Structure 1
Amino acid sequence: MPLFIKFYLKLSSVFTGLLVFFALNALADSPNIVIIICDDLNDTIEGIGGHPQAYTPNINRLINSGVRFTNAASNAPICGPSRASLWSGIHPINSGMYGMDQQSNRWDNNVVLKNKKTLFETFIDQGYYSYATGKIHHNGHESSYSTIMRNTDGSSGFGTKGNFGPYPNTNSPVFQGVDPPWWNQDYKDTVSPPYSGFGYYQDLGSNHKWTLQSGGSNNPSFSTWNYDDNGTPNDFSDDTRDLVSDEISAQQAVNFINGYNKNKPFLLTVGFVRPHSPYYAPKEFFDLVPALSDIQLAPINANDYNDITGPVNNSDKDLAQTSGWWKYTQYKNMGTEAYGDAERALKEFTQAYLACVAFVDAQVGKIMDSIEASTDPNIRNNTLIIFTSDHGYHLGEKLYIFKQSPWEESVRVPLIISGPGIASNKACTKPVSLVDIYPTCMDYAGLTAPHTLDGHSMRAFLSDPENGQWGGASYSVSGIGSSASVARNQVAAYSDQHFSIRTEQYRFIRYRNGEVELYDHNNDPNEWTNLASSPAHAEALSTMQTYYRIAVGLEEPPPDSPAISFVKPASDEIFYLKETIELEVQGNASTSLSGITFYLGDALIKSDSSAPFTAKVYDAAEGSYTVSAVGEQSSGDPLSADVSFTIGLQGTSENLISNPGFENSTVGAISNESELAPFSYMGPADRSISASTAYSGNQSLYISNRTQNYSGIKYLLGDLTVGTSYQISCKIQLSQTNTVARFTRKNIASGT
């Protein structure tokens, strides 16, 4: 992003010594936002605490550069309702979408949601450019995309729908294909339907072919997906094939990033279908996970239901979709019939799931690579990345393989957020949920909510994952659709559903018949011991029951305890030497502040008596610092918060400019590269003196190829006369309109 800078001095100001700070940021006012959402991805990610054999190096890169939420929840752990809630910002309690008949109960016909603006519409309406590709809402629920995804310039804003295929099929295709031809006959005789097949893509010979399908079971249409082993069936190095859905989505996302040239920030949304069934992936990703003999199964307790009395079990099956127990049983029976080993097919399934996770991780890496390698610093340095899944997935826990249960593996989702001003490689254990993504995006983009959002911005946790204070509750709430019938597109009654509520320590499950479960995750991460009848946990149970009553509107919530936290800077953030550091503190909804006083160590920075409560740190030496904020409530009671950061990566030399400037090629002026050396503290960039662009003189300072945000140019004005007015001005020419320039001054005598 090349630019030219020139300073000149006219009459105005009354200081004996003045520092002029011209801070040019590579960051625009509003960041680009990239949301990546997977389908059926549980905590099988390195660094999240799920399956120990997960291979996810690219998602790990996000973890290392951002905040991972280890206690994030889907608000309705099944595809359609979860995505409807996420993209509308409306909780299932208020929309009534829990999962019954999810194919026919469409989000855009729902009596509540049809009147709410999606995240995409809101961003487009308020100045963003939006592009989405892959599985965004539930498959088959995209008919309104021609309207809600359309940008103000008329472009459609949507790429290609997600597709679960290809499926192995006969030359006369059937819906969802046939059993994989490479399965032994005992497998084929035991299991049906083939929708949950597993294995790697391979040449199927002359009697079978891979097919993609569209449409439902009543009117499917098929197309051939090409795979050719080129005559070497056991050598995959020379095989040729078509791309699959997620590869197409990743490619479209990369093309969008590489070609983006509009003068506005963008919202990019990418929906990957894996690791949703069927569990097929390229052979190379099976090679990245352990061999079958080394595969570890999920923690499975054969007696898991002995202390569960609720109706969600293999007998009552009080769920909107009940295939989880059947699927687990089928895989066990396959292994028993074919090999005399009940774990054999379970291990094959687990291996295939891990391979699908590794595959989707590679697609995430393509998007990250394109952002990091972008020649546009506003993409490279000013893009917020949100990675998540629509819900979790059981891999055999609770003797169940599916989603849509009230337990941890179904409800919990991965959630990682990375970007400018966000703490790096930090974990947040606070309960949050997918409904909080909409308001978080609105907060970072500086947009206005189009309707009341049921979630809350997670920004406070992104700057301070441990101590941040937000407007949300101390628990998450997930609605689990029961088998109760629902009128088409109407609000299903909460009293007909089950609920799963999670705090940092406990999970509480409340079934629609009043039965309850309580699990202590500090001591029982597998949720094997139901403590609902434990006298020692009566108080915890009572508290969780209160949370349920509050969530469904039977009881008013008590006010939160007053608290304050830093919005800026992020915890352990690193700044360039001489960079201006902005501080901002906010209180939660229960806090009434009369003022905030900021301290750097023991030194007073500023007292601010009006919101937003802000201050700045100038010219701090290289080192590590802690900034504290002391607030006083209207009641007189004190509150405090602190945050640590580091200054100094670019050297410690004096970096103030004391020559007349760069606009004239006169004696003493900057005229060559060696004289530009003091600008090294500004961060990586190419700097030169240009005679091709000038304003009042005959040359300018030319800056290009910036790779990071930097603090800017500082100009010391000495020998000023008390009582005389000075006007300090600067003029810049920017090659992009979304760059932000800030011009501030500091009295070095008073420090203000």
Structure 2
Amino acid sequence: MCKNIKYIVCVLFLGTLSISAQEKQPNILFIAIDDMNDWTGFLGGHSEAITPNLDKIADKGINFANAHVSAPGCSPSRNSLLYGVEPFNSGLYPFYEHDIHKQLRKKYTTLPTLLKANGYNTFGSGKIHHGSSDDPNEWTDYYEPKNANKKFKDSEGYKRNAKHSFRPTLHPDEEHRDHQFANYGIEKLQEKHDKPFFLAVGIVKPHLPFDAPIRFFDKYPKEVDLENFKEDDLSDIPQAGKKLVKQGEFNQYKKDEAWGKIRRAYLASISWADYNIGRVLDALEASDYADNTVIVIWSDHGYHLGEKNTFKKFTLWEEATRVPFIIYDGRIKNQPQGRNYVEPVSLINVYKTIAEYTGVEVPEYVDGESLIPIIKDQTEQLTIPTITSWGRGNYAVRTKTHRYIRYYNGGEELYDHTADPNEWNNLAKDENQAELIKELKSHLPKNEHPMISDFVSPWSVEGADKAKYRGKNKK
């Protein structure tokens, strides 16, 4: 025991240790967004996008302005990020039924499970995994939303069916699920915590249906144009690429003259998502945890709203792979504003980044690398290239200046983003690009894990395994 002056020194020393421990294990606010592409103010994907809350946090933190997903679909993207393994190393290329997680957890450790096992309380709401979030080893508590009947202003918007709905809603905010998910996060931030916490808030919009409160529709014109469009965009695309295109939906919306309404609804859903994210961020700022919380905001993939004559995701082009990705460390004061990191970054790096923030050792199998060196110094470069997979054998390699796509059957695409940011001109057959293609091709996976077939959703199988599942369980 410490006595007299020794006691004072001992208390100061222990206090220093306590502060250091707290700094080593910050709280993590983990905000997952579903289907949000670059149509935000801070990414500039569409000039009419209204996202003040995301713009504000992007300006305060690090905006990874060239961030890309491991896969352009909810299930493989989230599996990759939360289990920390690239699809070509796990075999989890397509979508899976929710029971797959029981099997995966025998082999891999999810990010929240890792943190919970290392002293964190883990709280979750909304869509974090693509599937069940009821594992007690993973979550200290997980919110179950309340159902409510939707009310629409039927004189506006467009509807094909319940899922493909693009309409303004009239029921109260609190009856929308995203409002409930954000409320749960706000409540947790207002509570007292005796342990560091990992708080995951899954915002479902702008995922289909594109329904949102009417005041967010009112922010936009009745019809929203696509600012960059080329009618014959598919003319120089190899057949394997064309087969990924949802041209039936594209043509249906064109026939119905609905595209302007659909884009308006998508932007309204983005603004509604931004509003709920802002509510959570404001609650953090007003809480006792603002100075000891790292914020990580990401979307699971991008979205096509007519580019490449397609709708939704499920391609290897820029609109399907590029996403919002922001990190802000509230412990660092007087941070410079407006920091944009423009080198390509993959979301596979989220696992190791959060692990380093929290001082937790990761399993040996985890892919990627920590982004903390980049956050400290934006001149730093990653050593691992940014790769997106969509089916075994289908890959895109993204550099700062180019996108290279190679399909399972040898089809290729190459785009120069310095001259062609819309990816309108495929340069793969240009003999002058042969050396560049050779270099980019060298980054493709040398070994591909066979596709996991247990619990697979057949409609989502692409690439080298598609023929086996062709015609099954179409979606």
TM bucket (normalised to shorter chain) is 0.7 to 0.9
Q: 2:143 aligns with which of 153, 159, 163?
A: 159
Structure 1 residues 479 and 168 mapped into 2: Cα distance closer, same or farther (>3 Å)? farther
Q: 2:221 aligns with which of 288, 291, 300?
A: 291
Q: Which position in structure 2 is the counterpart of 1:372?
A: 285
Structure 1 residues 527 and 119 mapped into 2: Cα distance closer, same or farther (>3 Å)? same
Residue pairs, 1:391-540, within 5 angstroms: 391-419=301-329, 420-421=331-332, 424-465=337-378, 467-470=379-382, 472-473=383-384, 475-481=385-391, 494=392, 497-540=393-436
Rounded Cα–Cα distance in structure 2 between residues aligned with 1:279 and 1:548: 36
Q: Unpaired runs of 5+ in structure 1?
A: 1-6, 13-19, 152-156, 170-179, 203-226, 228-239, 336-344, 482-493, 554-752
2:224 pairs with 1:312: no
**Does the 8 Å CA contact 1:476/1:501 hold for their aligned counterparts?**
yes
Structure 1 residues 368 and 452 mapped into 2: Cα distance closer, same or farther (>3 Å)? same
Q: 1:50 aligns with which of 34, 40, 45?
A: 45
Q: Which position in structure 2 is the counterpart of 1:279?
A: 210
Q: Which position in structure 2 is the counterpart of 1:182?
A: 155
2:120 pairs with 1:128: yes
**Does the 8 Å CA contact 1:162/1:246 hold for their aligned counterparts?**
no
Q: What one-letter code is carried by the residue in structure 1 that aligns with 2:43?
A: I
Q: Which position in structure 1 is the counterpart of 2:54?
A: 59
Q: Which position in structure 2 is the counterpart of 1:721?
A: none
Q: What one-letter code is carried by the residue in structure 2 that aligns with 1:104?
A: E
Q: Which position in structure 2 is the counterpart of 1:329?
A: 251
Q: What one-letter code is carried by the residue in structure 2 that aligns with 1:182?
A: S
Percent identity of equivalent pairs: 33
Q: What one-letter code is carried by the residue in structure 2 that aligns with 1:519?
A: Y
Q: What one-letter code is carried by the residue in structure 1 that aligns with 2:323?
A: V
Residue 425 of structure 1 deviates from its aligned partner by 2.1
Rounded Cα–Cα distance in structure 2 between residues aligned with 1:53 and 1:448: 43
2:248 is paired with a residue whose SS is: helix
Could you list the per-position Cα deviations for residues 342-378 of structure 1 after superposition, in whole angstroms to 9, with x for gaps in the alignment?
Answer: xxx211111111111111101111111111111x2xx
Structure 1 residues 348 and 551 mapped into 2: Cα distance closer, same or farther (>3 Å)? farther
Q: What one-letter code is carried by the residue in structure 1 that aligns with 2:421?
A: P
Residue 242 of structure 1 deviates from its aligned partner by 4.8
Bigger proportion of residues as helix:
2
Residue pairs, 1:138-157, within 5 angstroms: 138=130, 141-142=131-132, 145-151=134-140, 157=141
Residue 265 of structure 1 deviates from its aligned partner by 1.0
2:294 pairs with 1:384: yes
Q: 1:85 aligns with which of 80, 84, 98?
A: 80
Structure 1 residues 68 and 242 mapped into 2: Cα distance closer, same or farther (>3 Å)? closer
2:26 pairs with 1:31: yes
2:93 pairs with 1:98: yes
Q: Which position in structure 1 is the counterpart of 2:471?
A: none
2:323 is paired with a residue whose SS is: strand
Rounded Cα–Cα distance in structure 1 between residues aligned with 2:167 and 2:26: 40
Rounded Cα–Cα distance in structure 2 between residues aligned with 1:109 and 1:93: 20
Rounded Cα–Cα distance in structure 2 between residues aligned with 1:520 and 1:303: 18
Residue pairs, 1:621-700, within 5 angstroms: none
Structure 1 residues 296 and 441 mapped into 2: Cα distance closer, same or farther (>3 Å)? same
Structure 1 residues 277 and 373 mapped into 2: Cα distance closer, same or farther (>3 Å)? same
Structure 1 residues 52 and 325 mapped into 2: Cα distance closer, same or farther (>3 Å)? same
Rounded Cα–Cα distance in structure 1 between residues aligned with 2:336 and 2:293: 14
Residue pairs, 1:173-322, within 5 angstroms: 181-182=154-155, 192-202=160-170, 227=171, 240=172, 242-259=174-191, 261-288=192-219, 290-292=220-222, 295-313=224-242, 317=243, 319=244
Residue 498 of structure 1 deviates from its aligned partner by 1.1
Residue 512 of structure 1 deviates from its aligned partner by 1.0
Q: Which position in structure 1 is the counterpart of 2:452?
A: none
Structure with max Cα Rg:
1
Q: TM-score, normalization: structure 2?
A: 0.85
Residue 113 of structure 1 deviates from its aligned partner by 5.5
Rounded Cα–Cα distance in structure 1 between residues aligned with 2:279 and 2:295: 13
Rounded Cα–Cα distance in structure 1 between residues aligned with 2:231 and 2:88: 33
Structure 1 residues 242 and 71 mapped into 2: Cα distance closer, same or farther (>3 Å)? closer
Q: Which position in structure 2 is the counterpart of 1:354?
A: 267
**Does the 8 Å CA contact 1:88/1:116 hold for their aligned counterparts?**
yes
Rounded Cα–Cα distance in structure 2 between residues aligned with 1:298 and 1:194: 28
Q: What one-letter code is carried by the residue in structure 2 that aligns with 1:366?
A: R
**Does the 8 Å CA contact 1:51/1:298 hold for their aligned counterparts?**
yes
Q: What one-letter code is carried by the residue in structure 2 that aligns with 1:134?
A: G
Residue 332 of structure 1 deviates from its aligned partner by 0.7
Q: CA RMSD in A?
A: 2.8
Rounded Cα–Cα distance in structure 1 between residues aligned with 2:52 and 2:98: 38
Rounded Cα–Cα distance in structure 2 between residues aligned with 1:114 and 1:358: 39
Rounded Cα–Cα distance in structure 2 between residues aligned with 1:86 and 1:119: 8
Q: What one-letter code is carried by the residue in structure 2 that aligns with 1:124?
A: K
Residue 389 of structure 1 deviates from its aligned partner by 0.4
Could you list the per-position Cα deviations for residues 151-196 of structure 1 after superposition, in whole angstroms to 9, with x for gaps in the alignment?
Answer: 3xxxxx2112698x86679xxxxxxxxxx85369xx77xxx44421
Residue 199 of structure 1 deviates from its aligned partner by 1.6
Structure 1 residues 85 and 246 mapped into 2: Cα distance closer, same or farther (>3 Å)? same
Q: 2:129 aligns with which of 131, 137, 150?
A: 137
Could you list the per-position Cα deviations for residues 59-87 of structure 1 after superposition, in whole angstroms to 9, with x for gaps in the alignment?
Answer: 01111111111111111110111111111
Q: What one-letter code is carried by the residue in structure 2 that aligns with 1:453?
A: V
Rounded Cα–Cα distance in structure 2 between residues aligned with 1:114 and 1:287: 48
Residue 312 of structure 1 deviates from its aligned partner by 2.4
**Does the 8 Å CA contact 1:310/1:511 hold for their aligned counterparts?**
no
Could you list the per-position Cα deviations for residues 396-448 of structure 1 after superposition, in whole angstroms to 9, with x for gaps in the alignment?
Answer: 10011111111000011110111134764211122221211011000000001
Structure 1 residues 125 and 533 mapped into 2: Cα distance closer, same or farther (>3 Å)? same
Rounded Cα–Cα distance in structure 1 between residues aligned with 2:213 and 2:156: 17
Structure 1 residues 241 and 517 mapped into 2: Cα distance closer, same or farther (>3 Å)? closer
Rounded Cα–Cα distance in structure 1 between residues aligned with 2:105 and 2:88: 12
Residue 299 of structure 1 deviates from its aligned partner by 1.3
Structure 1 residues 149 and 350 mapped into 2: Cα distance closer, same or farther (>3 Å)? same
2:65 is paired with a residue whose SS is: strand
**Does the 8 Å CA contact 1:37/1:390 hold for their aligned counterparts?**
yes
1:386 is paired with a residue whose SS is: strand
Structure 1 residues 201 and 499 mapped into 2: Cα distance closer, same or farther (>3 Å)? same
Q: What one-letter code is carried by the residue in structure 1 that aligns with 2:247?
A: W
Q: What one-letter code is carried by the residue in structure 1 that aligns with 2:347?
A: L
Residue pairs, 1:709-728, within 5 angstroms: none
Structure 1 residues 106 and 167 mapped into 2: Cα distance closer, same or farther (>3 Å)? farther
Q: What one-letter code is carried by the residue in structure 1 that aligns with 2:73?
A: I
